[in-house]
C-alpha cells in the first residue's frame, strides 16, 4: 500500500505521483496509466497482480519505480555556468551504457531520448519513459509518431518511417551538446525548420547519402 504525496509529472498516457510506502516508509515514484484495462485483459495479467501493479477495483496499471531527484532538463534549466567536464562525462557515459544495454541485450530502441526523459539522482543517471520503444528486429516502416522534434534524427524527418536504433544515438548526441552548452542544438519550430537547422550546422547531405534514404 502507498500513501500519495504529490504529483511529479503528467503525460498523454500516464501521470507520476510521489508516494510513500506504508510498509517501509520510503518514497517512490508511482506511474499510473490513464487507460484502464478491461476484465478480459485483466485475466491475462496475473504476473502484474503478483507485482501489485494492477488494481482489481479500477483496472488501472501502475509501475512503482525508484524516486529520482530530477530530469536533465530541470537540472540545466536556467543554469548560467557550464557543468564540470567530469559531470558531463559521467552522465554521458551512463546514458550511452543504457542505450548499449537496450540495443544489444534487450533488443529494443527507445525512440524518444531527450533531457526530460533522462533522470538523475546525485551521480546516478537512468533513462526513463519507454512508452515509445520498439524492437530492433521489427521491420520498417515505423509509421507511428516518434521522438520530440528537436532530438529527431534526419532519417526520421526525411523518410516515411524508415529508421532504426541509430536514431537513439543521434538523440544522445543532441543531449550531449545541450548538457555542454546549456542550449538545444537543433530547436526547430516545425519539421521543415528542423531539417534546415540540421543543414545549417552539418551541411546538406551528399547526394549519395540522400539516395540511400527510402522515398
Q: Is 212 annotated as a binding residue?
A: no
Per the DSSP assignment, residues forming a β-bridge with 28 are 19, 66
Contact 111, 146 (CB under 8 A): yes
Query: Is 200 designated active site?
Result: no
The active-site residue, picked from 24, 112, 193, 206, is 112
DSSP code of residue 61: B
Q: How far is CA 101 from CA 2, 57, 95, 120, 163, in A?
A: 31, 36, 10, 18, 19
Please, are residues 175 and 183 in contact by the beta-carbon 8 Å criterion?
Answer: no
From CA 25, how far away is CA 65, in angstroms rounded?
Answer: 15
Binding positions for ATP: 31
Among all residues, which ones are annotated catalytic?
Answer: 112
Amino acid at each position: 500500500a502507498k500513501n500519495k504525496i504529490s504529483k511529479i509529472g503528467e503525460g498523454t498516457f500516464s501521470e507520476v505521483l510521489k508516494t510513500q510506502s506504508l510498509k517501509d516508509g520510503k518514497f517512490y515514484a508511482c506511474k499510473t496509466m490513464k487507460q484502464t484495462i478491461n476484465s478480459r485483459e485483466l485475466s491475462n495479467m496475473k504476473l502484474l497482480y503478483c507485482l501489485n501493479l494492477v488494481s482489481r477495483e479500477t483496472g488501472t496499471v501502475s509501475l512503482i519505480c525508484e524516486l529520482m531527484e530530477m530530469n536533465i532538463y530541470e537540472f540545466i534549466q536556467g543554469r548560467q555556468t557550464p557543468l564540470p567536464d567530469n559531470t558531463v562525462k559521467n552522465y554521458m557515459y551512463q546514458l550511452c551504457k543504457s542505450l548499449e544495454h537496450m540495443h544489444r541485450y534487450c533488443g529494443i530502441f527507445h525512440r524518444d531520448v531527450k533531457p526530460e526523459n533522462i533522470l538523475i539522482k546525485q551521480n546516478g543517471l537512468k533513462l526513463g519513459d519507454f512508452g515509445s520503444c520498439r524492437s530492433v528486429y521489427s521491420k520498417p516502416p515505423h509509421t507511428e509518431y516518434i521522438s520530440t522534434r528537436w532530438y529527431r534524427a534526419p532519417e526520421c524527418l526525411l523518410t516515411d518511417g524508415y529508421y532504426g536504433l541509430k536514431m537513439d544515438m543521434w538523440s544522445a548526441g543532441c543531449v550531449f551538446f545541450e548538457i555542454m552548452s546549456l542550449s538545444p542544438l537543433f530547436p526547430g519550430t516545425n519539421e521543415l525548420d528542423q531539417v534546415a537547422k540540421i543543414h545549417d550546422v552539418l551541411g546538406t547531405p551528399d547526394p549519395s547519402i540522400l539516395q540511400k534514404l527510402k522515398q
